[in-house]
Every structure is written in C-alpha cells, then in structure tokens.
Amino acid sequence: MLEAVMPVNDVPPSNTATPTNKRRCTVTVSAQAWHGSKSAAQAVGCGSISELLEKLGNGELAVVLADELGPPLAEELDHAPDYGATTQQPSQPDWPAATAQPAPRAAAPGTISTLLSRLSLGKFPQLVLTAICASLILLPILYVLDLWLSKSSKGDLDLTQAITLTTGDTVAGYEVTDHMRIRPFHPVTGAANVPHNGVDLATPSGTPVYAVGVTGDRVSVECWWDVDGGGWVAEQTTESYPQLVFQSLHLLDDECRSGSFKSGDVIALTGNTGLGSGEHYDFRVKLDGSYIDPPRQFLEAALTGKTLSKDGKLPGE
C-alpha cells in the first residue's frame, strides 16, 4: 500500500475550497489503483496524474509506504473515515466508473516504490559524491602519467655542462673566427658595443648546412631575410628539443630550403649574404626565446649531419 503525503503549507488549487484549519492531507492508493487513478490525483490537489507526478518530481509531494506513517495525528482522528473496528487497513475506495482503466499487469512487490524513489532523485547526491571521489583519485594519477609521457617523448637536455667555443677553436675542421660576446666595434659598420649572438666559422661558400636533431626527428625549417645584416637565415626547430631554436645566418642566395626535413638532411649552403667581411658561417641558438652561447655539439651537428641522442650528445661522446 502506498500513501502520497501533501506538505502542510501547499496551497490547494483554485477550484477547491480553502480549508479553514490546515492539517496533513493524505490519500491512500493501492498498487493496482495507482495506474489511471485520476481521483487519487485530485485528492491531493492535482487535476491529473501527470500533475501528480510533476509534484512528486518537484518535491511538493512525498510518497511513502503506508506502514511508515505511524499512528495518525490527533486532529486526523476526527476526520478519519470509519472502516470498521476490526479492519486492519482501509478498504480500497470505489473509484468512479468514468475514470476506471483496464487493470495493468500486476507488478512485483516493491516495483512502484522503487520507481518513485528514482523519480525523487534520492540517489543523485550519492552518484555525484562517487564521481567527485573518483576524480580526486584519478586526476593526480593522470597528471603524473602525462608528465612521464611528455618527458619520455622529448629530449632530456642538461646544458649546464655544455662545452662552448671561443675564438681559435676548431669544429668539424673549420676555425672559429669569433665567438658570442659584445664586440667593441662591428667589423663592417664600425658601430660600438654591438652584441654578437652566435659563433662565426671560416667556411667556404657552398658548405652544406644540416638539420639538427635527435636521430629520426622531424625538423621544421623556415628561411627568411634578416634586414639587420644577417642575410639569408635558416631557422630550425626539432620535435625532441621544442625549447631550442637553431639559426644559420649569411647563407648562399637561393640555397635555403624551407619545409619539413629529417635530422641530418641538407637544408642550406653557407655564403656571405647580408653584412660580412668575408665568406663565413654564423650559428646561433635560442633557449626559450633568448640567445645562449651555442653548445659545441649542436654546431658540429649542423656542419657534419651527425644526429644527436635525446640527452643532446653526439655519437661517441
């Protein structure tokens, strides 16, 4: 047996008389009479079963088992129908014939109460709490996994111990004619205190320049003209060292190739475009957007085509 309980403060519909004294309004409905019972809806101030269900969904009407109600309120005793002294439960009301519906297939015990408990969304807070707890457990695990995958796919560089170059050193058989420093005077313009952001080598025009990267890397190359005197520039980025940018300046006219290459491919030829006192190769490295003293292994890779390991070392080092 089910009982639908209307809250005390609910306002009855306009087509019913307003009671002088407010009391708990109840209606008793059997499981069989529940389906198609318009009178049961009207008893709690609803014009239809759909309005009754709407009130259930909005929390305006509570549906509980009859044996959970406990003893009737004192004020209800005066209005309670007389079912007989020996009757344990009120008899099933005689619904008007006009509202009668064909009896549906009998439902298993507890089916109606289970359906109504779902309609009241009683389990929704539990589902939300479960989802939150699962997220608190899974998110840190996913974060650590993402860091591990990101680190394993990129080069693990440590440039703090990298070997840098100075004037007079030799790399791949070519002499270093100038290193990274503040020049007292520019060799062509004569301007004072001009920063030199790379390493110059005395290379003959037409010396191959190679894509720098880890073995098997894809290297992106962009060629552009430097209006500040660098001439043709090849700018490289490689997938294993996304924080680094390699620049080759003063390249030969029409011999710089833009596009995607494999590490170790030829991408340009050295020359003497832009401002220069003679044929040479100017190699520069940016770390997170700022120029650093070019490490020897990267310059050697650019002039020999040797590919690097993920920790930035050449074969045999």
Judgement on whether residues 223 and 290 belong to the same structural domain of the protein: yes
Residue 183: predicted pLDDT:
84
- Asked if the model's pLDDT at residue 34 lies above 70, the reply is no
Q: Are residues 171 and 107 in the same domain?
A: no
8 Å CB contact between 25 and 44? yes
Residue 292 in this model has a pLDDT that exceeds 90:
yes
Domain span including residue 96: 2-124
Does pLDDT of 129 surpass 60? yes
Summarize the confidence of residues 229-236 as an average pLDDT.
95
What is this structure's pTM?
Answer: 0.53
Query: Do 109 and 199 share a structural domain?
Result: no
Domain match, 53 and 185 both: no
Residues 173 and 104 in one domain: no
The confidence score (pLDDT) of residue 2 equals 46
Encoded tokens for 285: 């490295």
Residue 140, pLDDT > 90, answer no
Lowest-confidence region among 112-121, 157-166, 261-270: 112-121
Q: How confident is the model at residue 121 (pLDDT cuts 50, 70, 90)?
A: low
CB 315 within 8 A of CB 304: no
Statement to judge: residues 194 and 295 lie in one domain: yes
Residue 147 domain-assigned? no
pLDDT in tens, 62-119: 765 554 444 555 554 455 455 444 444 545 555 454 444 555 555 455 555 555 555 5
Q: What is the pLDDT of residue 125?
A: 73
Same-domain pairing of 18 and 102: yes
* Cα–Cα distance measured from residue 54 to residue 24, given in angstroms and rounded to the nearest whole number: 20
Of 124, 143, 175, the position where a domain reaches its end is 124
Q: What is the pLDDT of residue 100?
A: 47
pLDDT at position 144 over 70: yes
Farthest-apart Cα atoms in the chain, separation = 121
Q: What is the pLDDT of residues 300-314, one digit of tens each?
A: 999 999 999 988 889
**Count of domains in the chain?**
2
* More confident call, 132 vs 155: 132
* CA pair distance 301, 303, nearest whole angstrom: 6
Q: What six digits make up the tokens of 227?
A: 């209006």
Residues 182 and 87 in one domain: no
Would you state the pLDDT for residue 134? 83
